Amino acid sequence: METTQVKVLWIKDEPLQQILAGSKTVEVRVGYSNIRKLQEGQLLRLNDRYLYRLRRITIYANFGELLAHEDSARIAPDLAADELPDELRAIYPPAKEALGVAALELEPVQP
């Protein structure tokens, strides 16, 4: 019998609150190996507390490609689309962006 491993994903408080409220449905991470190993349908425990399912994971070459294909309001509902690239690069400098960029579409798991 196969067991499904639940991965813990740590998210800062403001984006976490947006996810919990349903206004943020796409989390962006760079292509670290642990992120690239995630699979659609996998369960994630946000901040080791809130159970979500990874509905979709899409890997892009960089933030420009990500923003050409993803709705910025689903990534950062409180930012204008033209502010998002600078915000992402403030978190992830060029060396991290060079690893690739993952869009993680999340959905809550209903009890």
Residue 97 belongs to what domain range? 7-108
Residue 60 within a domain: yes
pLDDT-derived band at 1, boundaries 50, 70, 90: very low
Residue 88 has pLDDT above 80, yes or no: yes
Checking if the pLDDT of 3 tops 50, the result is: no
In a domain, 2, yes or no: no
Q: Does residue 81 register a pLDDT over 80?
A: yes
Specify the length of the chain in residues. Answer: 111
pLDDT at 110: 81
Total of domains in the chain: 1
Please report, for the domain that includes residue 46, its CATH number. 2.30.130.30
Q: What is the pLDDT of residues 30-69, one digit of tens each?
A: 999 999 999 999 999 999 999 999 999 999 999 999 999 9
